[in-house]
Structure 1
């Protein structure tokens, strides 16, 4: 006669040596493992779902700027109608940009004989006081001792600018509407570089808005 505690089947049930039902014990362990896996994945889901939602929203709101869609050269900083990328346009004129440039938008019309108002290059951005002082010196736009507070050029002419508003042929947002210095420099005889930099009564603003144009 088979012992009912020997581990063999008795009717529809299976017993272990300790008398407990082996099937029920296995089910209990399986349920415990399933609950453990669910607990392990729960924190991941809490972070993963919001992250996916945020990425989708960013793509919808800023997709053009993030990926350069509908912009010349695939560069989200370039205004529509630009015909030359930024670096070649700067190199062709032998100029550069300040060491600190934020929020840059630019337009180039080097190959377009119908450049708006003769403006062949426009760049608008924000910078820092120190970066602009260094830039004005490096480009020899003002006397070294005038770089921090440009008021007159080398000939004593006033550098005070008017209200330029939104720059011609410029895209994006940004304008200089307060006090600023407008500093010209002749390039290649027929073209003129103009750097307009925001300033206060104490000199160049701490985070000045800057407009650079080349016309001619």
Structure 2
């Protein structure tokens, strides 16, 4: 008996089936990559988050502005940090009670300049996303329910009485 006669031929359909399975598996992984590699399948959640936030995020007493984009969050041990980009931050600050209605955005009773000496302000440890550009303004408020809310937001480099448009903000609070 010859050596060639002792070998079995692999059916062609088996090879085609393996290629189809590999393509479907690879395509599915690519299609759902955000859901596979982010906590809870939420592309907004940063690595290390221990709690999923709802689709509409209530950050520090008010929902994020309707035009908020580039949203990222980190949740750990009851603390929440959210970063986002928006033109509606002044309205958000009023709705959240961080800045009383009618008060100047840069009233030193409610906030202060954030100075780092660097061209950017690093995000809190573990929060993913884009860093804030200086200058920034920081708000520190204790809500009526006792929750501490801290907001850091980018100020305009051209106008001393305005925020960037759009501005990036970081909101930190306990849930």
TM-score by length of 2: 0.67
Larger Rg: 1
**Structure 1 residues 43-192: aligned runs within 5 Å:** 59=30, 64=33, 67-87=34-54, 94-111=61-78, 120-128=79-87, 131-146=88-103, 150-153=105-108, 156=109, 158-163=111-116, 164-171=121-128, 173-187=129-143, 188-189=145-146, 191-192=147-148
In 1, distance between residues paired with 2:70 and 2:59? Answer: 23
Distance 1:161 1:209 in 2: 14
Secondary structure of the equivalent of 2:122? coil
Number of residue equivalences = 139
Q: Comparing both structures, which one devotes a greater share of its residues to helix? A: 1
Counterpart of 1:116 in structure 2 is none
The CA RMSD over aligned residues, in Å, is 2.9
Mapped to 2, the partners of 1:88 and 1:63 lie a distance apart of 18
The structure richer in strand per residue is: 2
- Which consecutive segments of 4 or more residues in structure 1 shift more than 4 A? 88-94
Question: Higher RCO, 1 or 2 (CA under 8 Å, sep at least 6)?
Answer: 2
Alignment partner, residue 7 of structure 2: none
Structure 2: which 5+ residue stretches go unaligned?
1-26
